[in-house]
Amino acid sequence: MLETHERFVASGPLRIWTERVGDPELPAVLMVMGSAAQGVSCPDALVGRLVERGVQVIRFDHRDTGRSSVVDFDAHPYTIADLGRDCLAVLDGYGLRSAHVAGASLGGMIAQWLGVHAPDRVRSLTMISSSPVQAWARALAGEPADLDRLPPPAPAYLAHQAAGLPPGVESDVALFRVFNGPVRPFDEPAARAMLELALSRATDPAAAANHERAAWRPEPDLLAPLWSITAPTSVVHGDQDPLLPLGHGEALAAAIPGAVLHVVPGMGHVMTSPGLPEEIADLIRL
């Protein structure tokens, strides 16, 4: 039985729900999930495999998700950099000077911010299904060239978005089926169970939409060059990602000196295929 400990930590006035799995004396991996995603979206199988590799794992609910504080975004707007500061607050809450950081999708962009702006807190970086945050920041600053060179979402994802399904678990399951991609089998029961759990523990399910607003807020910090990242870095990306196609991962790996790119055959944008969480856990840089 894995040793598990839940607690809230303070990030300024906010309370951030966290969970630590494994021996607290071991090096830590901080799992940073994507837009609107709670800590429980990080698969238990991935956490268990990482613990088997000899680390403790910390996962948490971003602000505006799960059991963490809900923010009045109109009154107190925030950015990707603020989400990065929440990560540092989690490390502080556990008394950790540094951790291996693994971020998925938007979490990978937050991880990039940490690698640039808090290098002493980052032992290694792993970006999963993510994109160069600097390209998006430049586009917001009126310089879209870098972003324009990256491939657009796949037709299947665009068609799903155009369908305009009502919010709820069924819509989320349909989205995850698209995110899974057409090659690897989609573990619908596992995805549904996770999404139902997330809905049941969300203080305000609608608040998670604020992450998209945060991602599109200009932030000077995000213009800092990714070549300044010094942490050992791995980029993990599926060749069937319908949201951020493989070119995003290739561009991210090319932007960071010494970064290693792991292309995962058949993987989409999520880890909802049997055996995939363990496969990704083995690729996280330790």
The catalytic residue among 61, 241, 262, 273 is 241
b (16+ CB within 10 A) / e for 217-253:
eebeebebebeebebbbbbbbbebbbbbbbebbbbbb
The catalytic residue among 105, 129, 234, 273 is 105
How many CB atoms are located within 10 Å of the residue 128 CB? 31
Catalytic residue status for 237: no
Catalytic residue status for 269: yes
- Taking alpha carbons only, the member of 245, 16, 208 closest to residue 130 is 245
How many CB atoms are located within 10 Å of the residue 167 CB? 11
The catalytic residue among 64, 237, 269, 273 is 269
74: tokens are: 């109109």
Catalytic residue status for 105: yes
The count of residues in the chain is: 286
SS3 content of the chain, % helix, strand, coil (to 5): 45, 15, 40
Active site residues: 105, 241, 269
